[in-house]
Amino acid sequence: MKRESITKLKNLKELYLSHNNLSTLPDSMGNLNNLKLLRLSNNKLKHSKKVLKRLKKELPLCEIIV
């Protein structure tokens, strides 16, 4: 699955990406307006504080677990 494919799932409510060795997330992740839960724990996200700040701003109703 291409990484950008996930962002086309507009009605997605929960996304579990823990333990996937992710170093980056697509910029379009903030377009998942219906997302209520995003699990990102145990990954290797670069610039994680900056990424999380952006996601929290773009997805204010989503609980993000790192």
CA distances from 41 to 8, 11, 23, 61 (A): 22, 22, 12, 19
Each residue's pLDDT tens digit, 14-43: 999 999 999 999 888 999 999 999 999 999
25 vs 62, residue with greater confidence: 62
Name the amino acid, one letter, at 2: K
In terms of residue numbers, what domain contains 47? Answer: 3-65
* Pair 37, 14: CB distance under 8 Å: yes
How many domains are contained in the chain? Answer: 1
Beta bridge partners of 37: 14, 63
Q: State how far the Cα of 56 lies from the Cα of 43, in Å rounded to an integer.
A: 18
